Amino acid sequence: MARDRVRAAVLSAVGAPLEITDIELPETGPGQVRVRLAAAGVCHSDLSLSNGTMRVPVPAVLGHEGAGTVVSVGEGVTHVAPGDPVVLNWAPACGNCHHCGIGEVWLCVNALSGAGSVYARTADGTDLHPGLNVAAFAEETVVAANCVLPVPDGIPLTEAALLGCAILTGYGAVHHSARVREGESVAVFGVGGVGLAVLQSARIAGAGQIVAVDVSPEKEELARAAGATDFVIASETTAKEIRKLTGGAQGVDVAVECVGRAVTIRTAWDSTRRGGRTTVVGIGGKDQQVSFNALEIFHFGRTLSGCVYGNSDPGRDLPVLADHIRAGRLDLSSMVTEEIGLDGIPAAFDNMLAGKGGRALVVF
């Protein structure tokens, strides 16, 4: 079978540094789409995959937040054609499992089944897996047809990459999971790519007071530009500071945690008023144990919920997001604090660990 070589960022083993090298992509087969990447966002989930917090078969090409142009389609693919701009969908719903049957497509048990397949090879013939299905850290990729969605009209292709994860997750956390109502107060923990999307989405939802929390004072300007009315530097007294900022020191109506650390989840819970809602978006490791006592669960009457991919249905939500973008309510470009090449991904990982910047975008 004929193969074409493209440049990609390869994770050879968990914990190993990414290697920027040539890989060989196969011809586009039945039910597949080949995409030339325009851009790929560097998400904290990619870092979690590289360090073993989340498990994927390796060697692999990571990257799951991307957009590009269709190069070719295989037999049976009709919803896109060569030349079409598309967003990569790293968690396509199968439509057949229990969760899909009850409308919870974000919990599809088969969504990541493609990550275990072999989709390409290194130049020396080593099999490669497609990270979270789509292998966006490459000049081109070959994916299953259900892993691509047409880019809505009027959305710049490079910025459209953010729709594939950060925006869907952040918007969904606010509108589908926490269900923020007009006038409610919201605290957002972690002002990275997803946190910035949550802040913008809370503003779109009509939230009144929006408190951003981060370890880095340099994030305040980003947070306020996204919609934060207040900014708190994370510390042992964060919950107390947030309660002071709210009327009667009661706490916020909604807290959204975008970090995935036990201490942050616990602080988000403590920052929420009696009867409030705490939504956890951040992905933490198994060692991150969060403790609550039975009496406080009863007394505070709060709701604590997980949130997978923003509890979103990309096919349903992308047109809604496009309307917000075209109307100027949702600003994708303001979330990007750095444009890099493939060789800049390791440094972007380091910046995430250090709490620096918003979204780094690999531009091809």
Q: Tokens 């989709």 appear where?
A: 119
Angle at 238 between CA 234 and CA 242, to 5 degrees: 125
Q: At what angle do helices 238-245 and 262-270 cross, to 10 degrees?
A: 30
Q: How confident is the model at residue 128 (pLDDT cuts 50, 70, 90)?
A: very high
How does pLDDT run across 162-194, given as a tens digit for each residue?
A: 999 999 999 999 999 999 999 999 999 999 999
Q: Is 248 buried (19+), middle (13-18) or exposed (0-12) by CB count in 10 A?
A: exposed
Mean pLDDT, residues 249-278 = 96
Residue 3 has a pLDDT of 57
- For the cut 90, the answer to whether the pLDDT of residue 133 exceeds it is yes
| Lowest-confidence segment of 2-6, 159-163, 300-304, 323-327 by average pLDDT | 2-6
Residue with tokens 């956890």: 280
pLDDT of residue 151: 97
* Window from 32-41, 184-193, 346-355 with minimum mean pLDDT: 346-355
- Whether the per-residue pLDDT at 221 is higher than 50: the answer is yes
Q: Where does the pLDDT of residue 354 fall: very low under 50, low under 70, confident under 90, or very high at 90 and above?
A: confident
Kindly give the interhelix angle for 345-353 and 44-51, rounded to the nearest 10 degrees: 100
Mean pLDDT confidence for 10-29: 94
44-62 residue pLDDT tens: 889 888 988 888 899 999 9
Tokens of 309: 């991919």
Per-residue confidence at 353, pLDDT binned at 50, 70, 90?
confident
Distance CA 340, CA 343 (A): 8
Average confidence (pLDDT) over 304-310? 96
Place 100 in a pLDDT band, splitting at 50, 70 and 90: very high
Question: Average pLDDT, whole number, for the chain?
Answer: 95
- E-state strands within the chain: 3-11, 19-26, 32-42, 60-61, 65-73, 85-88, 120-122, 127-128, 140-144, 148-150, 186-189, 210-214, 230-233, 252-257, 272-280, 303-306, 336-340, 359-363
Cα distances (Å, whole numbers) of residue 205 to 70, 179, 210, 322, 333: 34, 9, 11, 15, 20
Residues 234-258: what's their mean pLDDT? 93
Residue 2 has pLDDT above 60, yes or no: no
pLDDT given for residue 180 in this prediction = 98
